[in-house]
Amino acid sequence: MGTIRTPRDKWIEEGLRALASGGPEAVRVEVLAQALGVSKGGFYGYFRNRAALLEEMLDSWERGVTEDVIERIERDGGDARERLGRLFDFVGSSETPVTDPGVELAIRDWARRDTDVARRLRGADNRRMDYLRGLYGDFCPDEGEVEARCLITFSLRIGDHLIAADNGPRSRGEVLGTIRKRLLG
């Protein structure tokens, strides 16, 4: 009976978890193998080296926060407001290693020190903003208003979980609901 190998995507997911908790320096083959409960030898069946894993982690993140999300939202059709509503719901509830807010922050921090990562981040951010522009542009004729709504929406995605402030007598969910109504109005 042959040895069962740890799937490639498990190495990538564990790498993303390590990235979220400690930055790119925390993505080490020995640590990932230990977290997965396997020997590090299996790693080299999938990846040439650590740099190859980091590249695939970025690929996975980029695809996961752009094309995978867009395909999921577009799959059920509907008008732009309905699709934006599904996007808000999905982004607010998605809990995968790729869409983990900690991964997003770690990649943004990494991009401050690595021009290749910064280039990838800019591409992903532009793809996300372009998608939002298309949706808001379907029902909002003012280009300035479209851009403002896109930036507010994207800023909420990136920064909402970083804000520790109380929302007075309202819950965060209530405030986000009010924002959603205004953006879709």
Query: Which 3 state secondary structure label does DSSP give 68?
Result: helix
Mean pLDDT, the chain, as a whole number? 93
> CA separation (Å) from 84 to 80, 81, 89, 100, 182?
6, 5, 9, 20, 12
Residue in the structure block whose two tokens are 């400690």: 22
Q: Mean per-residue pLDDT for 37-50?
A: 91
Domains located in the chain, CATH noted: 57-184 (1.10.357)
Q: Give tens-digit pLDDT for 142-162.
A: 999 999 999 999 999 999 888
23 versus 93: the higher-pLDDT residue is 23
pLDDT band of residue 40 (cuts 50, 70, 90) is: confident
d(CA 129, CA 147): 9
